[in-house]
Chain A
Amino acid sequence: NAGVTQTPKFQVLKTGQSMTLQCAQDMNHEYMSWYRQDPGMGLRLIHYSVGAGITDQGEVPNGYNVSRSTTEDFPLRLLSAAPSQTSVYFCASSFDRRGEKLFFGSGTQLSVL
């Protein structure tokens, strides 16, 4: 099993550009989530989903959109990138609908110039 797969690994954007970070899991987990990690801030929840067709906002949702059309995939969209969105992004999934015991992907390092 691949677990949680994130693509791309690295990305550089210009301010105002849009892009989608991909996340896929093959563990049939209902719960999926997106976090951003910034120095000294730990991991902050952006959006999460407890099943296909269901999404909700986390701590820092502004500037990001998500959708969950299948159990396996949970893409994160940046509609108009800003320098403040420079960060490392992690996708995670869990068999627990409360999000306990998270399995993380290896991350996407995003720089917005």
Chain B
Amino acid sequence: TQLLEQSPQFLSIQEGENLTVYCNSSSVFSSLQWYRQEPGEGPVLLVTVVTGGEVKKLKRLTFQFGDARKDSSLHITAAQPGDTGLYLCAGAETGNQFYFGTGTSLTVIP
């Protein structure tokens, strides 16, 4: 069973469109992170959110942590081809273990 479920699994959009990716769980997380992974490379950390209701912005990317700290969303405004990649959420639940979500594969078509 997956602790963190991401939706959608695949997303293909035109350049300039907006999109939202969701990360949901029945568990409460002390913090949640978003990573982006490009083909043939390891994931790269984008952001960490730690407080329920927290919103962080990174240029055209907006990250939100749910009030109950069980879910998170990533919103991209005016997507560009350079945003193409696999987006992964990861949560810290207990001890030293991080759990990663199932991933959302985003393709932005020029």
Contact = CB atoms under 8 A, between A and B. Distances in A.
Interface in A35-61: 35, 40-45, 48, 50, 56, 58-59
A100 B100 contact: no
A59 B3 CA distance: 11
Size band of the B side of the interface? 20 to 34
Contacts of B110: none
B100 A43 contact: yes
Contacts of A100: 31, 33, 48, 92, 98
Interface residues of A, number: 27
Contacts of A106: 40-42
B102 A40 contact: yes
B98 A102 contact: yes
Interface string B67-105: 000000000000000000000101010011111111100
Nearest to A50: B96
B88 A98 contact: no
B97 A99 contact: yes
7 contacts: A31-B96, A58-B97, A92-B42, A100-B33, A101-B45, A102-B98, A105-B42
